[in-house]
Amino acid sequence: MRAVIFADGRVTIGDRGDPVPSGGEILVQVAAAGLNGADRLQRRGHYPPPPGTDPDVPGLEMAGTVAAVGPGVRRFRLGDRVMGLLAGGGQAELALIHERVAMPVPDGVGWEAAGGFPETFTTAHDALCTQAGLAPGERLLVHGAAGGVGTAAVQVGGLLGARVSATVRREAARPAVAALGATVLAPGDDWVSAGPFDVILELVGAPNLEGDVRALATGGRIVVIGIGAGATAPVNLGDLMGRRGVIRGSTLRARPLEEKALAARGVETALLPALESGRLSVPVEEVVPLAEAARAYERFEAGGKVGKVVLAVQTAG
Amino acid sequence: MRAVIFADGRVTIGDRGDPVPSGGEILVQVAAAGLNGADRLQRRGHYPPPPGTDPDVPGLEMAGTVAAVGPGVRRFRLGDRVMGLLAGGGQAELALIHERVAMPVPDGVGWEAAGGFPETFTTAHDALCTQAGLAPGERLLVHGAAGGVGTAAVQVGGLLGARVSATVRREAARPAVAALGATVLAPGDDWVSAGPFDVILELVGAPNLEGDVRALATGGRIVVIGIGAGATAPVNLGDLMGRRGVIRGSTLRARPLEEKALAARGVETALLPALESGRLSVPVEEVVPLAEAARAYERFEAGGKVGKVVLAVQTAG
């Protein structure tokens, strides 16, 4: 099979042996695969995938058709449309996924949306629902709302019944994020005084942390899942105690299979009906053929986009 | 009634009108009342009590006999032995407490132990059980374990089935804390490498925070309830994300009545049987008569003690 391959930091297309499904696994003929921040980190050697995953083939999510099943598979059959979260290897013509982590692609949802759905929406749902316990009526602030996880989080927050505010780094991104249901502050606005917030989803990192604590409501929760702008920041523990606040760090990728399966079940229950009905949408900035993966990474790394960059995979044979 | 009164930072004894119980409240003839860190902060004007509480009469806990009941009181009767957590005003001959926050004093438990029990043990139980979700078999580290909350937390951790480690600031305190069931590290020991820990109870503050994050196990929780050694410290959010860790700030005092009542119910269920059987003990460093309250505060502020300083209150009339 052909696959995106990282070679000394360059993005190339190469050949790999076709993977073979083990017990509980399904082999997917990939139709589309989204790019994510972790791919970029992995390319630079900063975020190695878990043991057992080819460190040179990126791809944390994909959608496609079941091409083969391993022993004991019960949830899916040959030809089913599936999508899901991977530890790596999704940006290839064939990918393995455990059936417990895979989800059905709802009728009417196209490959490009499906290929860009699992990582961002599972991350957003896990962070807001499972990690932060976001409840209906609560006030949610999403920092860095224009990216893949941000646009998913704004929508998931609204679906969970929260009142959603958002910050973006570029003024140009405001209308698109507002159209997803958020009150979007202008870049440079004093978001601390726009609070208090019950939940703050931190996708930017250290520069926001001190203000995040001051912007928390009593019993509020900060969930940090992105630190692109910096990792280390001072925290005033007195402020945190006074608000009985929580700072939680989270990442999906390193979790064991059973936790990823739980996260997928949560997404199936809470989000797939809304994806099918069109209430949730996957903002796709650009679709790039697999053969032009290097260009997709350039587009992804250039920033200034709203939503996903997705690779369209057309099998050669 | 006579009461401890803060006058411009001095500790004096003065007269106050006898309080009268409102609906749901009981009037307690106080037998013993413990000193706590918040009293010390209040004396210096740093930690004002919630609205509705006399800012000059300290005392967050007391034990005594029910002397009168307000309308609608159902849980207690005249003459019952009770103890409980107050927003203030416990260091006096008479004190008001809502019946939902009061707890019975188990048979066989003396006044001095009862008067020093509620604040530290409720704080420790709330922090470890409700805030941190400490589970049997988990590894708990208590920082600053020689004080009132620390000695309670070491015991409560053991009662909840945790494997308890502790740090103390003075070598001399090690045997007493070890006798409560903890593995006590020597002052200056590298406690980070003694980890990882599932739960870290932070009673010291900022100087420990960076190490606390590095000492966390995957899914670990830091609960900060004391910051005597400093409030502001850097946090590496990447370390926190990698461990899927939590930093939670908490304080009991500012909570609404219903949450304090819930905390009291938790203590009744989980701790009172063990207090009655003698499995839990209230380490009391010194008992001082109410009339010598200034000396009690001197002893309390001098540090270097293991366990509580408790005022013994003998009603004049």
Q: What is the mean pLDDT of residues A155-180?
A: 96
Instruction: Note whether A128 and A229 are same-domain residues.
Output: yes
Provide the pLDDT for residue B315. 61
Joined together, the tokens standing for residue A174 give: 């405001």
Residue with tokens 């620390």: B150
The pLDDT of residue A52? 75
* A111 and A138 fall within a common domain: no
DSSP letter (8 states) at residue B47: S
Using a CB–CB cutoff of 8 Å, tell me whether B233 touches chain A. Answer: yes
Alpha carbons A242 and A257: distance in angstroms, whole number: 37
Exposure class string for B258-286: b at 16+ Cβ within 10 A, else e: ebbbebbeebeebbbebbeeeebbbbbbe
Pairing label, strands B163-167, B139-143: parallel
pLDDT at B256 > cutoff 90: no
Nearest CA distance, B224 vs chain A (angstrom):
7
Q: Are A237 and A131 contained in the same domain?
A: yes
Q: What is the pLDDT of residue B317?
A: 44
> How many Cβ atoms sit within 10 Å of the Cβ of residue A10?
10
- Confirm whether B317 is domain-assigned: no
CB A105 within 8 A of CB A28: no
Say yes or no: A200 contacts chain B, CB-CB below 8 A.
no
pTM over 0.95? The answer is no
- Chain A nearest-CA distance from B48, in A, is 12
The closest CB to that of A237, out of B236, B249, B254, belongs to: B249
Q: Indicate if A136 and A235 belong to the same structural domain.
A: yes
Instruction: Examine residue A156 and state whether it is found in any structural domain, yes or no.
Output: yes
Give me the CATH number covering residue A304: 3.90.180.10
Contacts of B117 by beta carbon, 8 Å cutoff, 6+ apart:
B34, B61, B63, B83, B109, B275, B282
Give the domain-ending residue among B223, B249, B275. B249
Beta strands, E only, chain A: 2-7, 10-15, 25-34, 61-69, 81-85, 94-98, 102-104, 139-143, 163-167, 183-185, 197-202, 216-224, 232-236, 246-249, 284-289, 308-312
- Same domain assignment for residues B259 and B112: yes
Task: Say whether pLDDT at A122 is over 70.
Answer: yes
Statement: residue A316 has pLDDT above 60: no
pLDDT of residue A306: 78
For residue A203, give its domain range.
121-249
Indicate if B260 and B303 belong to the same structural domain: yes
Residue from the list B233, B238, B242 with its beta carbon closest to the beta carbon of A237: B233
Q: What's the average model confidence in pLDDT over B197-215?
A: 97
d(CA A225, CA A230): 12
Are the beta carbons of B24 and B306 closer than 8 angstroms?
Answer: no
pLDDT of amino acid A193: 95
Q: Which are the contacts of A51, defined by CB distance < 8 A and separation ≥ 6?
A: none
| CATH (domain of A219) | 3.40.50.720
Residue A154: what are its φ and ψ, rounded to 5°? -60, -45
The domain tally of chain A equals: 2
Alpha-carbon span A203 to A162, nearest angstrom:
18
Mean pLDDT, residues A123-130 taken together = 97
Residues B155 and B35 both lie in one domain: no
For residues B61 and B108, state if they share a domain.
Answer: yes
Assess whether pLDDT exceeds 80 at residue B304: no
Distance from CA of A289 to the nearest CA of B (A): 33
Judge: B240–A249 Cβ closer than 8 Å, yes or no.
yes
Is A7 a domain residue?
yes
Whether residue A317 is contained in a domain is answered as no
- In chain B, the residue whose alpha carbon lies closest to the alpha carbon of A221 is B248
pLDDT surpassing 50 at residue A317: no
On whether both B237 and B267 belong to a single domain, the answer is no
A239, exposed or middle or buried, with CB in 10 Å at 0-12, 13-18, 19+? middle
For residues B199 and B303, membership in a common domain is answered with no
From its phi and psi, is residue B279 left (phi > 0), alpha (psi between -120 and 50) or beta? alpha
CA distance A149 to chain B (A): 16
The answer to whether residues A144 and A239 belong to one domain is yes
B227: which chain A residues are within 8 Å (Cβ-Cβ)?
237-238, 241
At A18-75, the pLDDT tens digits run 999 999 999 999 999 999 988 988 888 877 777 777 889 999 999 999 999 999 999 9
Pair B93, B132 in one domain: no
Q: Which two tokens stand for residue A74?
A: 């019960």
pLDDT tens-digit readout, B153-184: 999 999 999 999 999 999 999 999 999 999 99
Residue tagged 């807001």 (tokens): A128
Whether B59 is in a domain gets the answer yes
Is residue B266, in this structure, part of any structural domain at all? yes
Cis amide bond preceding B118, omega within 30 = no
Of B202, B232, B251, the CB nearest to A242: B251
B289 touches chain A (CB under 8 A): no
- Which distant-in-sequence residues (6+ apart) come within 8 Å of A42 by Cβ? A6, A48, A49, A55, A58, A88
